[in-house]
Amino acid sequence: MKDKQQNDIKEWLAATGQAEGFDICAVTAADLPAIIGAGLDNYLQAGHHGDMGWMAETRNRRTTPTAMWDAARTAVIFGCNYGPDHDPMDNLTATSSANISVYARGRDYHDVLKGRLKQLAGRLAARTGWQVKIFVDTAPLMEKPLAAQAGLGWQGKHTNLVSRSYGSWLFLGTILTDGLLPHDLAASDSCGSCTACLDICPTDAFPAPYKLDARRCISYLTIEFAGIIPLNFRTAMGNRVFGCDDCLAVCPWNKFAESSHDLKLTAAKGRAMPPLLDMLSLDEESFKSLFSASPVKRTGYIRFMRNCLIAAGNAGDDKLIPVVKSYLLHYDPRLRASAVWALSCYLDGDALAPLHPAEERDIDVQAEWKAALNLAD
């Protein structure tokens, strides 16, 4: 295909993408340098992926797009601004509210972006006859390195993409195709000497700049991790019940960002900063109903309630005590254990002792009771 035709298609993609709701578009090769795969190997070998075993299982396909689809020649990366209309750090002071990450307050971005990409990819295939595949964070495609290679931004010291125009607030979607298009220039790292994102992390999840230990990350702990929240991270979680925005929110490049006007991605009613009392009063069906079109549904009822119980312990709000007590006999030991800890933040051993169920047999829950009641081994 001649250069002019290729450029015409590229310009058409950018314009059509904008009409579909994307804010930015860039093109790069459907290939990543070996250093990206080496970095992934170091991450996995260090165990920094925690319980996300699927990262290791898909390692070979994850290193470069052509390992997943050998016909791929071009990656078209689209960015969608989801910038908040407030400083997310202000949410941390509302201790009796459930702090849900900015990205998860609207409709599930996977569904929103995938719908738009399907339209774009279908029209691209019809126009060119090329094969196309779409991706929105649901396959072993390393979208952040691809986006940086395409010039949409660079991976900051917090490992997330940073854009000169949109700060830390970009959703990414990708079309891979077997057709060829002119490439954009890669973005240069513009973090400089700034360490704001590293310094703000409440759990010290960054062992070094550009390195994340997910096992210490509140986003991982509240979304991916299935067990009882480790004791050393509970107080640091504060009121965060799904994700964490701290390292994104403090990035100085956000001063150039604008709040999103995309109604599908802005906060839905009841999902911005809902009262913890309301969240802890949800049963499984009402949870599914409230979060049916939200990314929060992914973590499931049990993990979400576990997180809300930890937040209740941190809230310092006596009105939460009765609803927390109701979880002491819950069928899931993770919630019983979390409720014990939360109540221990309000009640001393003498007040807690009468609440201790004699029939408790779960080892982890027993350990929580022992700690709460200051019992010796």
User: Which helix H or strand E contains 132, and what residues bound it?
Assistant: strand 132-135
Name the nearest CA neighbour of 373 among 357, 352, 354, 359. Answer: 352
| CA atoms of 202 and 205, how far apart (whole Å) | 8
CA dihedral 238→302→296→323, nearest 10 degrees, is: -60
Token reading at 325 = 């007590």
* Distances, alpha carbon 102 to alpha carbons 7, 83, 149, 169, in Å: 36, 8, 26, 9
Token reading at 190 = 């513009």
- Is 137 marked active-site? yes
| CA atoms of 244 and 360, how far apart (whole Å) | 33
Name the nearest CA neighbour of 307 among 236, 368, 222, 243. Answer: 222
Specify the pairing of strand 161-162 against strand 154-155.
antiparallel
Residue 52: half-sphere exposure toward Cβ, Cα within 13 Å: 21
| CA atoms of 331 and 143, how far apart (whole Å) | 39
Name the nearest CA neighbour of 46 among 247, 206, 204. Answer: 206
Q: Is 376 exposed, middle or buried (0-12, 13-18, 19+ CB in 10 A)?
A: exposed
Catalytic hit among 137, 184, 189, 278: 137
Residues known to be catalytic = 137
